[in-house]
Structure 1
Amino acid sequence: MLSDLALSALTDVMLACELFFLAGLSLRPEVRAFSPAWIWSLTLALIGLASMLGAIDHGFFEAIGHEGHRPMVVATRVVIVAGSLAMICATATQYLAGKARWALIGLGALAAAWPLSRILTSDDFLSVILYYSLGLLLLAGFSAAHLRRERHAGAMLAGIVLTLAVSAMIPLGSEGFGGLGLYASYHVLLMPIVVLLYLGGRSFRSSRGGAQ
């Protein structure tokens, strides 16, 4: 019988591989660097990297109480914040133009200072959850406003709502599914959800033109 940590590591690897695959699919031949579609691909890749770092930590460091556990936790959470900021940048470049675009990106970068400071000085994970939830809510709002104009906005909105619902398992102290534990259950539930996030990103522009 695998331990909860082993199951968490195993499911984290599976989720990471799926996200890397979806990030690669997002980089279609017509996608230009720093376009909304390109930044969304980067977002998926960063989330995948965070999952892979988490798997390495759970599988090799945390399980034996290795001194590298704390640095791995910090690295994993910093990458989550980076992925959340990339999500905000993708939202800004897709839906805003001019000063409004740069204002949102600037505010997103400024807001990232709070979870980063908490990551470096404490074991607080709630600040990270709140920051990526902010990014998801911003994108959800714009997706809802463009439901009729963007073919895949519905998939994006559904993916965001489900991600937020599943993420609530952590602060609520859920025990997850029997035999899996909290974090393995979280990873398994995210596996079909990230497909919706990938599909939602298919509506993002592949060029660096103006907002829709």
Structure 2
Amino acid sequence: MSDPNLRRPGALGEAFGLAGRLPRRTTTGAGSAPPAADLASSPAPAPVENVEGGTAVEQPASTRAEPVSAAVVHTPAVEADETDVTFQVSVYVLPAVSRAIEEARRRTGRTNAEIAYDAIDAVRDRLPELVAARRGGDRPAGSLFPGRRSRTPRAAAAAEGRRRLWSLQATAAELAVIDGLVETTGARSRSELISCAVEAHFGRRRRSR
């Protein structure tokens, strides 16, 4: 084994008759570069700007920033104004008065509520008297006895017609005014108070024609 010819590459195979049968071994140093195929499969680093130095540096692909989705802004719903909320008030009026109200509404374009409030304003000083007259017949001023109905409801309906349902829309503030008038006049309800005012107002207008 001290023959210097055996140190030649491939000499050992020739000595044992294995020349051309053994694969050729290649050794790679620790600092050698990897094969080109491995370099091609590696992702290229993404260049980013160095804000402080003004130079470009490389950043690994795995640390790239993900796009930030835009935040959804929810606009709160606008609440309805309490002054716009209305409540239905049912009123019973005589057939002739109902027709007169409908005619006035078409002629002026005013709502049922506005027509009712106009009637109340027109007879506001007579409201206690009108409510008392609805309850019974007239009695002399200063009498100790309440009025008495001159005829029964059936007889009154036969002469004037059965009262019909009519309605209006009132706000909370308007209802507060109506309730105050119900208390001061002694009316049984909002319906009775408004009916007395509307019938007196439009009934007087019919008689004046």
Q: State the TM-score bracket (shorter-chain normalisation).
A: under 0.3
Q: Comparing both chains, which one has the higher relative contact order based on Cα–Cα distances under 8 Å and sequence gaps of 6 or more?
A: 1
More strand by share: 2
Between Structure 1 and Structure 2, the one with more helix by share is 1
TM-score under structure 2 normalisation?
Answer: 0.22
Point out the structure with max Rg over C-alpha: 2
